[in-house]
Chain A
């Protein structure tokens, strides 16, 4: 090959890379600003309306302390929890879609969320009288982990293929759904409605302890997924191509799956079964920054945050004094979008 031509090729690919990077930086900056504005809105609106400037003052420590209860105790943990849960769900969805190589393979479709719901409802129905409610998140995470391990084991047949993972996951999701319904039917009225509320997903009554319990999962797992990102970008090519490139396909698939389950399980544990975020956020992220996994992860997480924060703001202000679970609104926005998504992907 002509040396000049080679040089030109390289410089062109460098130009493309730097263009993508520039695009990513722009998108990321815009999303950060939007999230900050939403966050501020979330702190200001509600049954007591506050002036956003006063909220900023308060956050900077320059306030006169009259809003301490509303902001510090009620709204701040709630907004933070919504953000964290949304980020976890957005990232978990992206990773899962990469593992099963299908844009519809989010944790709720594949049964991971179903496992968490089953464990949580079991806890609410049978243990909530005798065991402290603060163990509920652990039950949910354990449920997600056990069901995911079961999906993985049942899909194993000299290795795991994406198709088998999805199919087995869908089967187990149906089973988990039936078992969850059974417990709700058998439980008394009080546990029935609280279980239902939990399944729909809500950040109502969020506490600082919830925020601090969820935070480490996200801080640890999202960067970890980026470390595996290069390999995952390769995995989307298909087993043969990926093996040819020297990636230990099965191992990477397992690690990425575990990260996704950890993120989805912890988010569901603290915010309940908020659906569709893991489907929508990755799709929007791909539209904005293309297919590079390293860029997609933070963008998908941010979009997930925004979705849950918006849903919670709308849910608690639109029908004042009623405080509707955020999950209802996520479904309300997510469902039509999702049908559109199915239609868009009809060629795959």
Chain B
């Protein structure tokens, strides 16, 4: 039932993202463009050449980041976890910027693998630092480790870019997070990994449920927790790294959506994951629409848009959580 509403929301957001923009297009025309394409009609061309790929990319990235965030929150038992606050996005970004500046890498497929490597490096560092030590995993330790790793990769990225102005120009807009001006061809090499990540996340739902009920309980029920955790990290890296290689730094989706999903369906990850996919896609589509209008005629980078939506939410959570502990 609820999933139906989520799907409806997602489809409306997708349609709206095709219809709104510098040239507003009526929904009936959008429909025609999709199903009775006529290349002599200008609106049809706008939709198929620019808006459709943009909306598809936003939907895929939004869904992926939200799922990655949900898994990360389950894995670290931390309400403030997300690929952006834990430095996974910045790790992927630094690796790509460094590769572009030093090794002149520019193909999408290479970017993707480099982004995976960067995301994995950052994820392992944060997870290692957050869970090492006698006191085990503590929320504060994780958040600080994440912020520190983020600061580390951001300053390294700055270091590379400041010495290499040419790459600065070319990566800047991507750096700020954007889904505009990308063709579907950029999405295609990543898509199999993303879809694989989604399916894996859906299949894992039950195991994640057991894991979140506690390490001891999980072990008592015969779960090999180390494998579940490893699988979760792999999926997080695929989804977050893949998103970064297409869209750059888009933050806070992975923070907000899992909370909303949990608020709607409770703590069952078999349901949380599909909700995250639909709601994450919807939120990024809506944020992208807003980004087109906020500072007309220019477009705001979508990463800035999501940060503006996400920061108040983060602070709200921080106040609530810190007040309780």
A residues adjacent to B (C-beta < 8 A): 102, 104-105, 108-109, 154-155, 157, 161, 163-164, 166-168, 170-175, 177-179, 181-182, 184-186, 189, 192-193, 196-197, 199-200, 275-276, 322, 324-325, 327-328, 331-332, 334-335, 338-339, 342-343, 346-348
Contacts and interface: CB of A to CB of B under 8 A. Distances in A.
Interface in B277-323: 295, 298, 300-301, 303-304, 307-308, 310-311, 314-315, 318-319, 321-323
Interface in B80-108: 80, 84-85
B125 A339 contact: yes
B148 A109 contact: yes
B175 A196 contact: no
B165 interface: yes
Interface stretch (B40-48, B126-134, B229-237, B268-276): B126-134
A335 B150 CA distance: 11
B23 interface: no
Nearest to A178: B307
Interface residues of B, number: 55
Q: Which of B163, B295, B315 has the most CB of A within 10 A?
A: B315
Interface majority SS (helix, strand, loop, mixed), chain A: helix
Contacts of A200: 155, 158-159, 162
Nearest to B162: A200
A346 B143 CA distance: 13
Contact of B159 (A172, A178, A332): A332
Contacts of B132: 343, 346
A170 B301 contact: no
B159 A168 contact: no
A331 B173 contact: no
Given A174-B84, A174-B311, A192-B172, A346 B133 contact: yes
A104 B125 CA distance: 16
Given A184-B172, A192-B168, A167 B155 contact: no
Given A154-B319, A167-B80, A167-B143, A108 B169 contact: no
B247 interface: no
Contacts of B152: 331, 335, 338-339
Interface string B151-166: 1101110110111010
A184 B172 CA distance: 8
